[in-house]
Amino acid sequence: MQKAWYYEEYGPKEVLKLGDIPLPTPQHDQLLVQVRAAALNPIDSKRRQRPLFPSDFPAVPGCDMAGIVVAKGTSVTKFNTGDEVYGNIQDFNAEGKLKQLGALAEFIVVEESLIAKKPKNISFEEAASLPLAVQTAIEGFKTAGFKTGQTIFIVGGAGGVGTLVIQLAKHFYGASHVVATTSTPKVEFVKELGADKVIDYRKTKYKDIEEKFDVLYDTIGDCKNSFVVAKDNAPIVDITWPPSHPRAIYSSLTVSGEILEKLRPFIESGKLKAQIDPTGPYKFKDVIEAFRYLETGRARGKVVISAFPYTESTRCHFIREQEESCS
Ligand SMILES: NC(=O)c1ccc[n+]([C@@H]2O[C@H](COP(=O)([O-])OP(=O)(O)OC[C@H]3O[C@@H](n4cnc5c(N)ncnc54)[C@H](OP(=O)(O)O)[C@@H]3O)[C@@H](O)[C@H]2O)c1
């Protein structure tokens, strides 16, 4: 058995329980990973609150993780035991239910196609913060058909996705002018991410912004108001469902390890930096508090969980399998 957070009915964060669940066995294309850090996403709360992307009960929440490979299926070719890996383990693009066993457990199984090796220059916590948000951020640029040299207006520059959209616009997609919105306390933070200009939405209304942009990228679902900053016929990307303006195009993430591999040079060169909310990383025992904070909608970057418990019995189980000795 292993420790995990799970829920057996839909509801508020209080339905979450910390307890023992069986250790999973990796299938032929899967790896068994000892989780060292995980990150929360709004989808983890939404799935817990109602039957959205259902899985079987008891359901362990969590998509994003970073950890160490401890066993692998027979057809795995890209990874070996001992590799440090990271990824979003829930394939939202696949048919059928999502995995019952999410990332908030000591050990998880994941298909090798969904993960990548962790860049050596970042911690497990930093790595865990990236996958789902960066996969979403990149898909939005594709949805917009973004071209080098275009200007971009980003609504929600301080959130898990927005912090990455700003950095990608600057360093990956070659935007000529990046403007992002946030509230007063986060203006300096958003500037430091690389935005050329930050709009404090508590002081300035969209309709008072004179410049019009080649692309509007709305991460908070405010298109019904924000559309006024887009040029006529400019793509308006909304990552929330349903989009709140007839011109807005809904953009949904593609889950794959390949995307993370493509970003490796930008992560290793420090151009793309993980943004961990300063209230964290939270300890494994404090997952409910971490969800409470995420659900305020005020997170700055990503809400990260670290320090997984690793009971002696589970640790020994895998050490025994690998080294055939365990004291
Ligand atoms: N389609 C997809 O594939 C996909 C993937 C990931 C996420 N999503 C969805 O996208 C949304 C954002 O996800 P996330 O992970 O970035 O959420 P998040 O990290 O929880 O976003 C929190 C941020 O939103 C900002 N915010 C709230 N109201 C704002 C406003 N009126 N103007 C500007 N910023 C505002 C907050 O900044 P302030 O405190 O400064 O207001 C805070 O920094 C969620 O609804 C999520 O479910 C969709």
186, 215, 250 — which closes off a domain?
Answer: 250
Q: What is the span of the domain harbouring residue 168?
A: 133-250
Co-location of 41 and 10 in the same domain: yes
- Name which of 292, 280, 281 is nearest 14 in CA terms: 292
Does 184 fall in a domain?
Answer: yes
88 alpha carbon – ligand 1 mean position (Å): 18
pLDDT at 327: 38
pLDDT band at 308 (very low <50, low <70, confident <90, very high): confident
Query: What are 28-71's pLDDT values in tens digits?
Result: 999 999 999 999 999 999 999 999 988 899 999 999 999 999 99
Closest Cα to atom 35, ligand 1: which residue?
Answer: 156
The amino acid occupying position 240 is T
Mean pLDDT for the stretch of residues 98-110: 97
**Is the CB of 137 inside a 6 Å radius of any atom of ligand 1?**
no
53 alpha carbon – ligand 1 mean position (Å): 19
pLDDT band at 314 (very low <50, low <70, confident <90, very high): low
- Cis preceding linkage at 242, omega within 30: yes
The amino acid occupying position 302 is K
Closest Cα to atom 23, ligand 1: which residue?
Answer: 159
Does 269 fall in a domain?
Answer: no
Give percent above pLDDT 90 in the chain: 91
Does 242 fall in a domain?
Answer: yes
> Is the pLDDT score of 320 beyond 90?
no
Does 265 fall in a domain?
Answer: no
Co-location of 217 and 186 in the same domain: yes
Co-location of 92 and 197 in the same domain: no
Give percent above pLDDT 70 in the chain: 95
Does 268 fall in a domain?
Answer: no
Tally of domains in the chain: 2
Residues 6 or more apart whose CB falls under 8 angstroms from that of 327 comprise none
Co-location of 226 and 291 in the same domain: no
Co-location of 307 and 196 in the same domain: no
> Is the pLDDT score of 322 beyond 90?
no
**Structure-model confidence comparison of residues 317 and 57, the more confident one:** 57
Co-location of 146 and 124 in the same domain: no
Co-location of 209 and 317 in the same domain: no
**Structure-model confidence comparison of residues 49 and 318, the more confident one:** 49
Q: Which atom of ligand 1 is nearest to the CA of 294?
A: 20
Does 260 fall in a domain?
Answer: no
**Is the CB of 156 inside a 6 Å radius of any atom of ligand 1?**
yes
Co-location of 206 and 223 in the same domain: yes
Q: Which uninterrupted H or E stretch holds 150?
A: none
* CATH number reported for the structural domain that contains residue 58 in this entry: 3.90.180.10
Mean pLDDT for the stretch of residues 307-315: 69
185, 216, 250 — which closes off a domain?
Answer: 250
**Is the CB of 62 inside a 6 Å radius of any atom of ligand 1?**
no
Does 270 fall in a domain?
Answer: no
**Is the CB of 252 inside a 6 Å radius of any atom of ligand 1?**
yes
Co-location of 112 and 157 in the same domain: no
Contact 64, 39 (CB under 8 A): yes
Distances (CA, A) of 60 to 4, 17, 22, 36, 229: 7, 10, 12, 16, 41
Does 39 fall in a domain?
Answer: yes
Co-location of 11 and 123 in the same domain: yes
Long-range contact pairs involving 314-319 (C-beta distance under 8 Å, separation at least 24): 314/1, 314/2, 314/23, 314/106, 314/107, 317/23, 318/32, 318/34, 318/70, 318/71
Pocket test for ligand 1, best of 135, 191, 219, 249 (most atoms within 8 A of CB): 219
* CATH number reported for the structural domain that contains residue 222 in this entry: 3.40.50.720
> Is the pLDDT score of 249 beyond 90?
yes
pLDDT at 280: 95
Distance from the Cα of residue 244 to its chain's centroid: 23
216, 250, 284 — which closes off a domain?
Answer: 250
Mean pLDDT for the stretch of residues 310-322: 60
Q: What is the DSSP string of 152-211?
A: EEEE-TTSHHHHHHHHHHHHTS--SEEEEEE-GGGHHHHHHTT-SEEEETTT--GGG---
Co-location of 86 and 172 in the same domain: no
Contact 212, 187 (CB under 8 A): no
Q: Which atom of ligand 1 is nearest to the CA of 139?
A: 3
Co-location of 126 and 7 in the same domain: yes
